[in-house]
């Protein structure tokens, strides 16, 4: 699956800090640490090698030991200041205070005591350093769940209890399932419960705004090992591969949708390959950007989406 540029940037910044603390690390060990392939680690290092501070002469670039790299070991020799502590400006500090207060308000009750203590300590220190500007900050992180659902999820996470969920998916199919909650995660738009679903005997992400009801059971939740990157939805290989040819006006689709591949075309348009697990999800996506869809492959999928669009138009006509 093609990853977001922002995710790759965060990983590469993390690699610099990690390598600064470790003297010579095998590529395979870095791959395990960051949950990516050895090939991806090498691609990241090659990118970092030509990255640096303005000027971009050899002495301005992040550098690694070439001899070690040829033997499959990465040794950082010049970080170009990337590992020095940041000095925050007033606006940056206020933004960080706002983010920490939002996290504390929405997720604090669901954290284990150790993490909650770290959050409160960091927030107190940053608030004191920011001064009067921090006093005006008042934000809340929208979890999107019904109040009783949010309370049940927080209780189950805090006390390590199993949940019984009534959940409706993107195809409007409602199921009831028992879930061992692992953690609550958020992205730019949604909040999700990462849990081990006993119905399918595997990890699943549940959008909390789609949880119709949540009941905390008397059963203790079991510990489950989840794969790296489980917090990000990634369609399995069983999903049907569909190609969307889109105009440049909706390039955001490639950044916000899990895709297998992206191809930029000479006329400015682009193609994405997506794995479709639920046809309703694809229809919703295509109808959102209908004016900018140039082609859908295979043709059968295009006909199905077109039929859904015509049915929607007929419904408006009846009204």
Which tens digit of pLDDT belongs to each residue from 163-200? Answer: 999 998 866 788 999 999 988 777 656 788 889 999 98
Q: Show the tokens assigned to 274.
A: 């997506």
Range name among 22-26, 29-33, 254-258, 287-291 with the lowest pLDDT average: 254-258
Q: Show the tokens assigned to 60.
A: 């301005």
Whether 307 contacts 287, CB under 8 Å: no
| Strand-pair category, 73-74 with 161-168 | unpaired
- Residue 231 CA, chain-centre distance (Å), reads 6
Unique residue bearing structure tokens 């399995």: 236
Q: Is the peptide bond before 163 cis (omega within 30 degrees of 0)?
A: no
Tell me the C-alpha distance between 234 and 198, whole Å.
Answer: 19
Per the model's pLDDT, the better-predicted residue between 233 and 64 turns out to be: 64
Tell me the C-alpha distance between 277 and 279, whole Å.
Answer: 7
Tell me the C-alpha distance between 141 and 200, whole Å.
Answer: 31
Q: What is the DSSP letter of 250?
A: G
Per-residue pLDDT, 77: 92
Q: Show the tokens assigned to 91.
A: 């606006």
User: Per-residue pLDDT tens for 84-119?
Assistant: 666 667 777 777 787 777 777 666 666 667 777 888
| pLDDT more than 90, % of the chain | 26
Identify the helix (H) or strand (E) that includes residue 241: strand 240-246
Tell me the C-alpha distance between 306 and 103, whole Å.
Answer: 42
User: Per-residue pLDDT tens for 201-223?
Assistant: 888 888 888 899 999 999 999 98
Closest by CA to 44, choosing from 56, 62, 57, 24, is 62
- Around Cβ 129, how many Cβ atoms within 10 Å? 11
Tell me the C-alpha distance between 313 and 231, whole Å.
Answer: 37
Whether 242 contacts 274, CB under 8 Å: yes
Per-residue pLDDT, 218: 92
* 310-319 contacts, C-beta under 8 A, 24 or more apart: 312/287
Whether 190 contacts 204, CB under 8 Å: no
Question: How high does pLDDT run on average in the chain?
Answer: 82
């Amino acid at each position: 699956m093609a990853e977001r540029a922002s995710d790759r940037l965060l990983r590469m910044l993390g690699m610099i800090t990690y390598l600064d603390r470790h003297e010579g690390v095998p590529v395979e060990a870095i791959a395990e640490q960051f949950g990516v392939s050895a090939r991806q680690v090498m691609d990241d290092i090659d990118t970092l090698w030509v990255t640096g501070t303005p000027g971009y002469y050899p002495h301005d670039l992040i550098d690694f030991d070439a001899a070690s790299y040829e033997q499959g070991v990465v040794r950082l020799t010049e970080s170009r200041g990337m590992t020095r502590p940041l000095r925050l400006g007033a606006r940056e500090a206020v933004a960080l205070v706002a983010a920490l207060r939002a996290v504390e308000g929405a997720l604090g009750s669901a954290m284990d005591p150790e993490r909650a203590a770290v959050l409160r300590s960091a927030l107190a220190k940053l608030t004191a350093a920011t001064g009067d500007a921090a006093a005006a900050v008042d934000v809340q992180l929208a979890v999107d769940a019904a109040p009783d659902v949010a309370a049940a999820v927080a209780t189950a996470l805090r006390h390590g209890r199993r949940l019984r969920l009534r959940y409706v998916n993107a195809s409007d199919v409602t199921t009831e399932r028992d879930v061992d909650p692992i953690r609550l995660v958020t992205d730019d738009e949604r909040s999700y419960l990462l849990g081990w679903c006993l119905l399918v005997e595997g990890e699943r992400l549940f959008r909390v705004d789609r949880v119709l009801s949540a009941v905390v059971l008397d059963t203790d939740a079991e510990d489950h090992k989840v794969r790296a990157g489980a917090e990000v939805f990634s369609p399995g290989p069983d999903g049907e591969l569909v190609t969307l040819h889109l105009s440049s006006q909706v390039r955001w689709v490639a950044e916000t949708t899990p895709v297998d591949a992206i191809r930029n075309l000479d006329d400015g348009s682009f193609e994405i390959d997506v794995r479709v697990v639920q046809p309703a999800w694809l229809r919703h996506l295509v109808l959102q950007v209908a004016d900018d869809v140039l082609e859908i492959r295979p043709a059968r999928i295009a006909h199905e989406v077109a039929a859904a669009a015509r049915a929607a138009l007929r419904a408006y006509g009846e009204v």
